[in-house]
């Protein structure tokens, strides 16, 4: 009996210890699971905020032009508020996730635009403003990880090489990565706009169907006096209409004579690239052996109907040079009226919101090849023989290209003498002096690839204002919340209210059950509540 009552103390102590250890392990496991669950909840809440942010800033936006710069740039304002809140939270993971979300959202909405140029310019304007706002803000927050990225002022992107560059960014925690990604998105949108306007608006004007109205004109049996005056007038009017059509594609409001809140510089930057392409296309077409010669390249040499040219193809003369110069003058004035493109002075860009000018550091000369060609056609023979004068009049023309132009020379009433053989000998004797890297020696000439120069953030200060609390109250800033994001959040929470569906009452005889949730009933949409907290904390 005593043996049965004896307790094995070591075994009991061991059992108690094991039970205690198991209890502690259970508690630790529970604490670990609780911690993991809390982390998962926070992560899911952050993803919900991101989803709500891109929904409100991008997916729910009607991408159309309007007179209010504040309303047009609401997507940039909302995305910047969301991203800068992530920056202020001092969480590298949240900052990286917010940056990737903003970039992927922008790419998706731009892809959805297809070839709709007004919508593409809408998103290009917003992308530029978003980059400018973030660039100014991170300088104040001093969050940059110190990566040695090139400044906006020095950056220029060859679009063909950078279309997919966004995919290769890794360090999304660094705000500079987002800025570079936005620059690449801008270049990608810019390229899509260029190609859409070129193929859908300008190229059709180079085809026979467009020029058929001039087909009934009697062109045979004419002397080359002023080239072909009737053809010249037709060409001037044709391309003025093409430029007007391009303006309507880029910004329908401004084309109609109204104010628009999008960045005015965009239409100018696009047209400068397109005018350069058209300059090369016309230059190549004019220098063909004959008007019957077929085009050789869809971009550099696409003109299939020479009636659209301001002067006859395959022939050069003093009169043709004068008529070409007249056409260039007409087009340049028209481009200045439509887009502010000036071929004589470094251009400035007017921002209509503040009536302030945005100065750009680049000068643009419209139709520089055609200008040089017209000057060469009107140059006296003794001056053509002088290399220094040739380099002043047509600095990019090689000797072989000049000889091609002179070989097509036809005497007219303004210059009835043929070109002396001594002129050709003088050019031949100087061929070895040509700088092949600088001169245009091959024919047909090749159009330059599209290059996008991102507008520097500092040049947009007059539009976005200084980033900070004062900017939110500034009447001239796109950060001004006169069209508040909170109001639009309310519409998203209850979208049927804005279109009056909740007030609709069905027919009294209807036997179908009313499936519409009653006002105040149902679960609240959490993602909008989370986003509202972000914007409230940001104020």
Percent of the chain with pLDDT over 90: 37
pLDDT confidence of residue 506: 52
Q: Is residue 474 part of a domain?
A: no
Which string of DSSP letters, residue by residue, matches 445-503?
PPPPPPEE-PPPGGGGHHHH--SSHHHHH-TT-TT--SS-HHHHHHHHHSHHHHTTGGG
**Contact yes or no for 487/535 (Cβ under 8 A):** no
The answer, yes or no, to whether residue 344 has pLDDT greater than 80, is no
Same domain, yes or no: 43 and 146: yes
Q: Last residue of a domain, which of 131, 165, 194? A: 194
Same domain, yes or no: 373 and 410: yes
CA dihedral 387, 393, 395, 396 (to 10 degrees): -120
Q: Which residues contact 94 (CB under 8 A, 6 or more apart)?
A: 46, 86
Same domain, yes or no: 257 and 319: yes
pLDDT confidence of residue 432: 56
- 36: helix, coil or strand? helix
Expressed as residue numbers, the domain containing 425 is: 207-452
Q: What share of the chain is helix, strand, coil (3-state, %, to 5)?
A: 60, 5, 35
Which stretch of 124-128, 240-244, 408-412 has the lowest confidence by average pLDDT? 408-412
The answer, yes or no, to whether residue 9 has pLDDT greater than 60, is no
Q: Last residue of a domain, which of 452, 469, 500? A: 452
| Domain tally, the chain | 2
**Contact yes or no for 81/531 (Cβ under 8 A):** no
pLDDT confidence of residue 405: 92
**Contact yes or no for 493/162 (Cβ under 8 A):** no
pLDDT confidence of residue 483: 42
Phi, psi of 417 (to 5 degrees): -90, 145
pLDDT confidence of residue 431: 65
Same domain, yes or no: 243 and 94: no
Q: Is residue 475 part of a domain?
A: no
pLDDT confidence of residue 38: 79
**Contact yes or no for 126/206 (Cβ under 8 A):** no
The answer, yes or no, to whether residue 513 has pLDDT greater than 60, is no
Cα separation, 183 vs 143, in Å, equals 19
User: Which segment, 175-184, 287-296, 309-318, is predicted with the most confidence on average?
Assistant: 175-184
Tell me whether residue 283 is exposed, middle or buried, using C-beta atoms within 10 angstroms of its C-beta: 0 to 12, 13 to 18, 19 or more.
buried
Same domain, yes or no: 261 and 185: no
pLDDT confidence of residue 217: 43
Same domain, yes or no: 256 and 131: no
Q: Last residue of a domain, which of 452, 472, 507? A: 452
Q: Is residue 305 part of a domain?
A: yes
Same domain, yes or no: 324 and 351: yes
Same domain, yes or no: 14 and 154: yes
Phi, psi of 356 (to 5 degrees): -110, 160
Q: Is residue 288 part of a domain?
A: yes
pLDDT confidence of residue 164: 47
Percent of the chain with pLDDT over 70: 68
Q: Is the dihedral of CA 262, 124, 450, 236 positive or negative?
A: negative
Grade residue 251 by pLDDT with cuts at 50, 70 and 90.
Answer: very high
User: Residue 469: which of 115, 5, 137 has the closest Cα?
Assistant: 137
pLDDT confidence of residue 39: 80
The answer, yes or no, to whether residue 243 has pLDDT greater than 70, is yes
User: Which segment, 43-57, 80-94, 255-269, 461-475, is predicted with the most confidence on average?
Assistant: 255-269
The answer, yes or no, to whether residue 375 has pLDDT greater than 60, is yes
Cα separation, 124 vs 103, in Å, equals 13
Higher pLDDT, 207 or 156: 207
Q: Which residues of 173-208 are buried (b: 16+ CB within 10 A; e: fewer)?
A: bbbbbbbbbbbbbbbbbbbbbbebbbeebbbebbee
pLDDT confidence of residue 429: 83
Same domain, yes or no: 180 and 220: no
First to last CA, the chain: 81
The answer, yes or no, to whether residue 216 has pLDDT greater than 70, is no
Q: Which residues contact 291 (CB under 8 A, 6 or more apart)?
A: 306, 312, 313, 314
The answer, yes or no, to whether residue 488 has pLDDT greater than 90, is no
**Contact yes or no for 229/317 (Cβ under 8 A):** no
Same domain, yes or no: 214 and 188: no
pLDDT confidence of residue 224: 40
Q: Is residue 344 part of a domain?
A: yes
Question: How far is the CA of 31 from the CAs of 27, 28, 38, 45, 66, in angstroms?
Answer: 6, 5, 10, 21, 55
Q: Is residue 103 part of a domain?
A: yes
User: Residue 443: which of 336, 313, 289 has the closest Cα?
Assistant: 289
∠ CA 213-218-219, nearest 5°, is 100
Grade residue 527 by pLDDT with cuts at 50, 70 and 90.
Answer: confident
Same domain, yes or no: 377 and 292: yes
CA dihedral 76, 460, 477, 259 (to 10 degrees): -90
Scanning 146-264, the segments in alpha helix (DSSP H) are: 159-162, 175-197, 208-211, 229-250, 252-255
Grade residue 112 by pLDDT with cuts at 50, 70 and 90.
Answer: very high
**Contact yes or no for 66/72 (Cβ under 8 A):** yes
pLDDT confidence of residue 442: 82
Same domain, yes or no: 153 and 71: yes
The 3-class SS string of 323-361 reads: HHHHHHHHHHHHHHHHHCCCCCCCCEEEECCCCEEEECC
Q: Is residue 68 part of a domain?
A: yes
The answer, yes or no, to whether residue 450 has pLDDT greater than 50, is yes
Give me the mean pLDDT over the 369-396 stretch: 91
Grade residue 360 by pLDDT with cuts at 50, 70 and 90.
Answer: very low
Cis peptide before 134 (omega within 30 of 0): no
pLDDT confidence of residue 209: 66
∠ CA 511-512-513, nearest 5°, is 115
Q: Is residue 142 part of a domain?
A: yes
Cα separation, 117 vs 112, in Å, equals 12
Higher pLDDT, 470 or 372: 372
Grade residue 531 by pLDDT with cuts at 50, 70 and 90.
Answer: confident
Cα separation, 475 vs 481, in Å, equals 9
**Contact yes or no for 225/413 (Cβ under 8 A):** yes
Grade residue 104 by pLDDT with cuts at 50, 70 and 90.
Answer: very high
User: Residue 194: which of 277, 274, 278, 280 has the closest Cα?
Assistant: 274
């Amino acid at each position: 009996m005593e043996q049965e009552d004896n307790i094995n103390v070591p075994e009991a102590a061991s059992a108690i210890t094991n039970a205690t250890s198991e209890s502690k392990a259970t508690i630790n496991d529970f604490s670990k699971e609780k911690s993991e669950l809390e982390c998962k909840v926070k992560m899911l809440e952050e993803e919900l905020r991101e989803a709500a942010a891109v929904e409100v800033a991008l997916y729910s936006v009607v991408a159309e032009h309007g007179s209010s710069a504040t309303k047009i740039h609401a997507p940039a304002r909302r995305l910047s508020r969301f991203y800068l809140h992530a920056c202020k939270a001092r969480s590298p993971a949240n900052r990286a996730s917010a940056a990737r979300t903003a970039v992927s959202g922008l790419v998706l909405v731009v892809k959805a635009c297809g070839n709709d140029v007004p919508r593409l310019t809408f998103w290009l304007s917003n992308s530029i403003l978003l980059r400018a706002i973030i660039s100014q803000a991170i300088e104040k927050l001093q969050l940059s990880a110190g990566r040695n990225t090139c400044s906006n002022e020095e950056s220029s992107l060859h679009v063909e090489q950078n279309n997919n560059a966004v995919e290769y960014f890794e360090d999304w925690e660094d705000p500079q990565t987002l800025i570079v990604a936005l620059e690449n998105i801008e270049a990608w949108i810019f390229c899509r706009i260029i190609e859409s306007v070129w193929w859908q608006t300008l190229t059709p004007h180079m085809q026979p169907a467009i020029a058929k109205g001039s087909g009934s004109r009697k062109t045979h049996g004419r002397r080359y006096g002023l080239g072909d005056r009737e053809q010249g007038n037709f060409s001037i009017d044709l391309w003025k209409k093409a430029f007007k059509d391009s303006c309507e594609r880029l910004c329908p409001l401004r084309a109609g004579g109204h104010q628009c809140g999008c960045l005015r510089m965009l239409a100018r930057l696009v047209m400068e690239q397109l005018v350069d392409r058209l300059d090369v296309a016309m230059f190549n077409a004019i220098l063909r052996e004959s008007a019957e010669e077929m085009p050789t390249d869809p971009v550099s040499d696409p003109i299939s109907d020479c009636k659209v040219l301001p002067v006859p193809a395959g022939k050069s003369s003093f009169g043709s040079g004068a008529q070409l110069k007249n056409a260039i003058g007409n087009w340049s004035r028209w481009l200045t009226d439509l887009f502010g493109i000036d071929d004589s002075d470094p251009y400035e860009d007017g921002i209509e919101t503040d009536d302030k000018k945005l100065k750009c550091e680049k000068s643009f000369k419209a139709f520089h090849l055609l200008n040089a060609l017209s000057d060469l056609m009107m140059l006296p023979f003794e001056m053509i023989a002088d290399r220094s004068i040739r380099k002043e009049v047509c600095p990019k023309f090689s000797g072989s290209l000049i000889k091609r132009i002179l070989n097509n020379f036809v005497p007219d009433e303004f210059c009835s003498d043929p070109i002396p053989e001594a002129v050709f000998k003088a050019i031949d004797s100087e061929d070895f002096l040509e700088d092949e890297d600088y001169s245009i020696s091959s024919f047909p000439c090749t159009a330059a690839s599209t290059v996008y120069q991102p507008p520097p953030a500092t040049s947009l200060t007059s539009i976005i204002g200084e980033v900070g609390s004062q900017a939110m109250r500034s009447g001239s800033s796109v950060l001004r919340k006169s069209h508040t994001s909170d109001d639009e959040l309310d519409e998203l929470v209850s979208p049927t209210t804005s279109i009056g569906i909740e007030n609709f009452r069905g027919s009294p005889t209807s036997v179908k059950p009313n499936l519409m949730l009653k006002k105040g009933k149902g679960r609240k949409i959490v993602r909008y509540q989370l986003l509202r907290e972000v914007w409230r904390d940001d104020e």
